[in-house]
Structure 1
Amino acid sequence: MASRFLPARATEATEVLQSVSFPIRRRADLPNIRWAVRAIASEIGLSRVQQSRIETAATEIARNTLDHGGGGWAMIGLVNDLGRTGLRVSFGDDGPGIGDIDAALRPGYSTGSGMGVGLYAARLLSHDFMISSAIGAGTRVTLAYWK
């Protein structure tokens, strides 16, 4: 399984204070994820701009989970890591996987009809970004945004 983690901020001491999970099966599931991300981001005191950044990143990955992975799940959590409070959003699917993660992270790369900016934008909008994928075994993406 190939993976990338940029930058490595989270540690093994990360404590999940609260979390909620959502299935991703159809387009109608995406607003629920967006709203939950915004609620937790607001709860920890992120500014409206910061809320929009992580909300946009999470929406892009949720859409990819549905469009490219055939659906999956999202877990949104309020986390504490060595005194830092943050929001962590993890996604997973059992889809076809990503053959070349480095290529997929470049702007303009797309295996579908999209513009090829989803993974690239999500990475830029997040403080932490981790992706792992294997052909035939699906993809996992985790985003974090720290207060």
Structure 2
Amino acid sequence: MNPPPRFNVLGTGVHALSLDEARDRLVAARGQRHLGYVCCATAYNTDLARADAALRRAYNAALLTTPDGMPLVWLGRWHGHRGITRVYGPDLLLATCDAGRAAASGTSSTAARRAWRSSCAPRSPRASPASSSPARSRRPSAS
């Protein structure tokens, strides 16, 4: 799968995609040899990255750097990316976990179902800040 197009925001490349595209790319990336990480970029973060080379490198090296805020969506549309939408981090987490559960439920492999559950629902609050997030409270079955 080719990477989605990026547009430049103060030296940071932000991917021009929608929530559904981001979710589909993460689900498709599962099981690949080289994975990566996702950065949810805001206008504030891209401004910070302008002055911090390490942060800018981290954003630019990410598997996906999503537009997590309407100012970046508007800028992406100004650059000609008409299909871009806001990709809010907690929404992406929930959409990816839901898609993963749906994919895993279609398999008879207990290991596949367990892998999706463990990667989308940390067991302890120390495992990930997401375990105490609003996303967690909207999906109590993820515990």
TM-score range, shorter chain: under 0.3
TM-score using structure 1 length = 0.27
TM-score using structure 2 length = 0.27
Query: Which is greater in Rg?
Result: 2
Tell me which protein shows more helix as a share of its residues: 2
Tell me which protein shows more strand as a share of its residues: 1
Considering Cα pairs closer than 8 Å and 6+ residues apart, tell me whether 1 or 2 has the greater RCO: 1
